[in-house]
Structure 1
Amino acid sequence: MARVGQVKSSAGERISDRIAIGVLTQAFPPGLVDEVIAETGRGEKRSRLLPARVVVYFVLAMCLFFGQGYEEVARLLGEGLGEGRRSWRVPTTAAIGRARRRLGVEPLRVLFARVCRPLAVPGTEGAWYRRWRVVAVDGTTLDLADTEANDEHFGRPGTGRGRGAFPQARLVALAECGTHGVFGAEVGALSVGEQALSRRLFARLREGMLLLADRGFYGFELWQQARASGADLLWRVRANAALPVVRVLEDGSYLSTVHAEQDRKSRRNPVTVRVVEYTLARTGDATLYRLVTTVLDPEQAPAAELAALYAQRWEIETTLDEIKTHQRGPRLVLRSKYPWGVEQEIYGLLLVHHAIRQLMHQAALHEGVDPDRLSFTRTLRVVRRQVPAQAGLSPRQTRQGTHPHPG
């Protein structure tokens, strides 16, 4: 595991500029954070106790120690100052809330776009299928603080008994299956569907990737947009989808055609796909699985291998669970009271997850093992312990609402 990093100081430098919080300052170096702040126009013209760089690291620390109060997180940041920590005056909760608002969401969003890329290298075990980097797309929802602003902007789910207890934001992500590294994310209101949000992610796809998706994503237009990225696709479709057999191939798969809605009856402008059908009869599951793929040559990717590969789609669900259950904490809601703070917090969670997964990938490469063999929960605990004077922090999570959290 990496050692806690310290930002070097120079004569006349502000104490707050020397904050370091272990793996986070290694994944997101101060120089890069400063570039992003300048790029997004969030720099300050006057000296502050909480300059923009410190606020970025505060948001990341807040998402690393989810559930702790603002001032407790600020104390942890101060412990990174080493011998200068006596000069660090812990800001008030109100001051931190104002600093978060000044920062806004854009620096976190840009930092995510700059840093969060697929992690696997050619030697990474479990991240590749033949010549393809295996990635997946999926979505989830996050419970938000019960405020009028969050309710109006994001909405809340309906239930059989009425409206849900909390507003919710929708998150759709792209992740590398073998490393669980999230390299694309879009946040939206609950009323915005996963398909609509996923369209904004396809610019992150590259030739040489193989994108897995479940049947909730398939639609002709979405398929075409993803295909235009240059990546290959392997998506599940409904068992009753109209997929005429054009030619049966030697591995049992077959070529078919799909059409835009307006061309479906006339069968004009066909797009050729390959269909793989299978069941999991050995497990007692007689469900018919139907996959469509852009890989038309069975010699490049035999049907049996693609059927087995599709199970890797579950890795993105595990990834989202790492963020929601282990990093954030089960049944906890995001603390931010306003939509800008919600998005800032979500990108903070994603950035912290990336830093942890990057560390795990480095350790797996060093040991020559599949990253899946390493425990995310154990690594998260190690990263948290790297923050100096961790014993000064309450070991239990603070329930939502115990501390006031502006923003």
Structure 2
Amino acid sequence: MSESAAKAGFPLLLSVYPPALVDSAVAACGRTEKRRRLLSARTMVYFVLAMDLFSPAPYQEVMDRLTTDLRAAELWAEETLPSRAGIFQARERLGPEPLFTLQRSVSRPIARLGTPGAHWRGLRLMHLEQHTVDLPERASPAPRLHALAVVESSTRTVIDATVGERRTDTALLRSLGPGTLLTVPGRPFDLDHWDAITGAGAGLLWQLALGQRPRPTPERLCPDGSFLTRLGGRRARVLAPGVFTNLLDAQRAPAAELLGVLARTEAGGGALREALLGAGREKGPLTSRTSDGIQQEVCGRLLVHYAIRRSDRTGPTHFPRTFPEQQGRSRLNQTALPILQH
């Protein structure tokens, strides 16, 4: 069991994901059982969470520990414990959808207004992270699983995630809106997502992937050395080579400060990897053998990680209180020189 999960314990998971909330997620996905079963859908949601909480314990041990905790909470009164085969079948009946529905219904930014590094000029700082996980043999035609998440930067809390897609799922955009600034570090430019994020009213700071360095035509030089241009026909502002923003007012959004936000994001990443593997790889590897089982297990790890983060309402702060403007100005100087030579 990971140290952080051990400190959390099952009572924390019950407080963050109470039975009524779990039942609602199960019902929303049409997974409520029509007849009484030893392993209800609710119990199986908690079992998937327990798989992470007690990782890397084997199935039967996880169920033994879970039923002990459920009995203490007066949520388990059965004398018979399920077999390993029964657990497999119950997981198949559940599917991954109730867990992702539960995640979407609960996960919210947890930083308070005074949390250091949580906001920049009134905008809540969020960023996009991706991670690839090796899969067990025969678990999937593809040997690796791709996960993508929106993370609250100051608390390293995973707010929303998609699993199994290489592209940015537009479903992640539900976590964004007016009052947020999303940093996208090192990803290929996607015009649809630029439009969706801008249309949602969120600020956007996009660093293109290495090797993708367009030569935008400057339309107007700003006092801070950045310049306005068109990116795929959309108005944008260039802060440094390969770094764009939809915040066009240089006075309200100085380039040096935005580049400082980017530098902090690059230095403070890794929340998604930590959620999936643990801070020091102390979690066991994914053990599920089916596509649905893998998605279940991944979402279970995300749910446990979120509960632990939320247990401290301010979360562990990994960003400095001040912005590294010196790093930002260094990049800014790299931007201004080509403009003057153009």
Considering the TM-score relative to the shorter chain, is it more than 0.5?
yes
CA contact (8 A) 2:277 2:285 kept: no
Q: Quote how far apart the aligned CAs of 1:31 are.
A: 1.0
Are the equivalent residues in 1 in contact too, given 2:49–2:301 (CA < 8 A)? yes
> 2:292 and 2:122 mapped to 1: Cα distance?
40
Look up the match of 1:33: 22
Judge conservation of contact 2:160–2:172 (CA < 8 Å) in 1: yes
The CA distance in 1 between the partners of 2:100 and 2:267, in whole Å, is: 24
Classify the secondary structure of the residue corresponding to 2:270.
Answer: helix
1:197 corresponds to: 168
Alignment match of 1:297 (pick from 234, 249, 254): 249
1:323-342 superposed matches below 5 A: 323-326=275-278, 329=281, 332-342=284-294
In structure 2, the residue matched to 1:118 is 109
Which residue in 1 is equivalent to 2:98?
107
Asked if structure 2 preserves the Cα contact closer than 8 Å seen for 1:324 and 1:330, the reply is: no
After superposition, where does 1:186-335 map in structure 2 within 5 Å? Answer: 186-188=162-164, 192-193=165-166, 196-237=167-208, 240-259=213-232, 270-277=233-240, 289-314=241-266, 317-326=269-278, 329=281, 332-335=284-287
Evaluate the alpha carbon distance shift between residue 179 and residue 271 of structure 1 in structure 2; reply closer, same or farther with a 3 A threshold. Answer: same
Question: Where in structure 1 are there 5+ consecutive unaligned residues?
Answer: 6-19, 156-166, 260-269, 278-288, 365-369, 374-407
The structural deviation recorded for 1:88 is 4.4
Is residue 82 from structure 1 mapped to residue 77 from structure 2 by the alignment?
no
> 1: distance between equivalents of 2:303 and 2:279?
12
Bigger shift: residues 48-57 or 320-329: 320-329
Match of 1:48 in 2: 37
Letter in 1 for 2:189: Y
Q: Could you tell which deviates more after superposition, 84-93 or 230-239?
A: 84-93
Which residue identity is paired with 2:253? Answer: A
CA offset digits 1:320-369 (Å, max 9, x no partner): 2312331693695311111111111111111111101111335x5xxxxx
Cα distance in 2 for partners of 1:151, 1:177 equals 32
Amino acid at match of 2:183: L
Could you say what the CA RMSD is over the residues aligned between the two structures, in angstroms? 2.8
Cα deviations by residue, 1:192-229 (Å, 9 ceiling, x for unpaired): 53xx2333322332111111012323233332232222
Question: Counterpart in 2 of 1:371?
Answer: 317
Distance 1:97 1:247, change over 3 A: same
* Pair 1:87–1:200, CA change in 2 (3 A): closer
1:9 alignment counterpart = none
Contact 1:63 1:348 in 2 (8 A): yes
Q: Which runs of 5 or more residues in structure 2 are unaligned?
A: 320-342
Q: Given that residues 175 and 316 in structure 1 are in contact (C-alpha distance below 8 angstroms), is that contact kept between their aligned partners in structure 2?
A: no
Paired residues of 2:131 and 2:273 also in contact (CA < 8 A): no
User: 1:323/1:83 Cα in 2 relative to 1: closer, same or farther (>3 Å)?
Assistant: closer
Q: Secondary structure at the match of 1:200?
A: helix
> Sequence identity, in percent?
34
When the two structures are aligned, how many residues end up with a matched partner?
312
Alpha-carbon distance between aligned partners in 2 of 1:198 and 1:358, rounded to the nearest angstrom? 25
Residues 185, 262 of structure 2: 8 Å contact kept: no
Instruction: Give me the TM-score of the superposition, normalised by structure 2.
Output: 0.82
TM-score, reference length from structure 1: 0.70
